Amino acid sequence: MKKRISVFFLLVLAFLLCAAGCASATAPVVKVGKESIPSLYSVVGEKKITGTSTGVGTGGAEVELTYQGVSLEELNSYIEALVSDGYMVTQEAQASGTAQSYQIGKEASSDGYIILISFLFENGGSTVIHYTVAQGTIMPETVTG
């Protein structure tokens, strides 16, 4: 009887983990469609994931991760690491109240596809990172000064 309860408990635990998007706070990459993108963990270390969402829609494959405890400096370090990996700014920083948003992107490994990564940083709150792989072209943001 105890063995059945243990097996049932393990199956329920496995289902709950997969239902949460199968996101790991210590995974070195985020898998989006056929793409493997360096994770926040790979640059700044483990941060608590409080929400996950995955899907495939008309816009392509998507993964959204919500973190707690990410500082603006850590987020900037992650963005800088991705930029040095070939990503370019597709949307400059925009502020709204205590929130800031950014977007970077690059060509995907499959012809005609791109990777877009959007960031929403809430000062003192959560940080949402949204990864999308979809058909399209990269249009870098023009910075005038």
pLDDT digits (tens, 9 = 90+) for 67-115: 999 999 999 999 999 999 999 999 998 999 889 999 999 999 999 999 9
- Domains held by the chain: number: 1
Q: Does residue 17 lie within any of the structural domains?
A: no
Q: Does residue 6 lie within any of the structural domains?
A: no
Q: What is the DSSP code (8-state) at residue 142?
A: P
* 81 close to 38: Cβ distance less than 8 angstroms: yes
Q: Which of 22, 7, 121 is nearest to 63 (CA)?
A: 22
pLDDT digits (tens, 9 = 90+) for 8-23: 444 434 433 333 345 7
Q: Does residue 9 lie within any of the structural domains?
A: no
Q: Does residue 96 lie within any of the structural domains?
A: yes
User: What is the C-alpha separation between 62 and 14, in angstroms, rounded?
Assistant: 22
Give pTM, 2 decimals: 0.80
- What's the number of CA atoms in the CB half-sphere (13 Å) around residue 136? 16
Which residues form the domain of 115? 24-135
- What's the number of CA atoms in the CB half-sphere (13 Å) around residue 40? 28
